[in-house]
Amino acid sequence: MSIGPTISISDLVRDIKAGSSKFINEKGWINGKFSWQEGYGAFSYSKSNVDSVVKYILNQEEHHKNKTFKEEYLDFMEKFEIEYDSKYLFEWIED
């Protein structure tokens, strides 16, 4: 996904979460009301890395045979040198 400099990532994520929650709830795909948990993660790559990022995403199912989403996410945090307090991360469903 590519966004222009006038759109903040937090606004984009808010809009995606709101729109997808509405869509899922209107479709009735789950029992009860669907909602996203708080927070999000966003990692930026240069345009020259688009092909490798697309390839990575297309092979995500294969990656998750060997690594959980939590392990993958924490690897990204380390790779991008993002300091964090684990109490502010996601509620991991595989724990």
- Distance CA(22)–CA(1), nearest Å, equals 21
Count of domains for the chain: 2
Q: Is residue 1 part of a domain?
A: no
CA distance 33 to 24: 9
What is the reported pLDDT for 3?
Answer: 84
Shared-domain flag, residues 59 and 92: yes
Q: Which tokens go with 38?
A: 């708080």
Which pLDDT belongs to residue 42? Answer: 87
Looking at residue 87, the DSSP 8-state letter turns out to be G
Residue 32 is predicted with a pLDDT of 93
pLDDT less than 50: residues of the chain: none
- What is the per-residue pLDDT for 33? 95
Per-residue confidence (pLDDT) for residue 26, from 0 to 100: 96
Domain containing 67 equals 46-95
Q: Distance between CA atoms of 54 and 27, rounded to whole angstroms?
A: 28
**Do 17 and 57 share a domain, yes or no?**
no
Other beta carbons less than 10 A from residue 68's beta carbon: 14
Rounded Cα–Cα distance for residues 3 and 12 (Å): 9
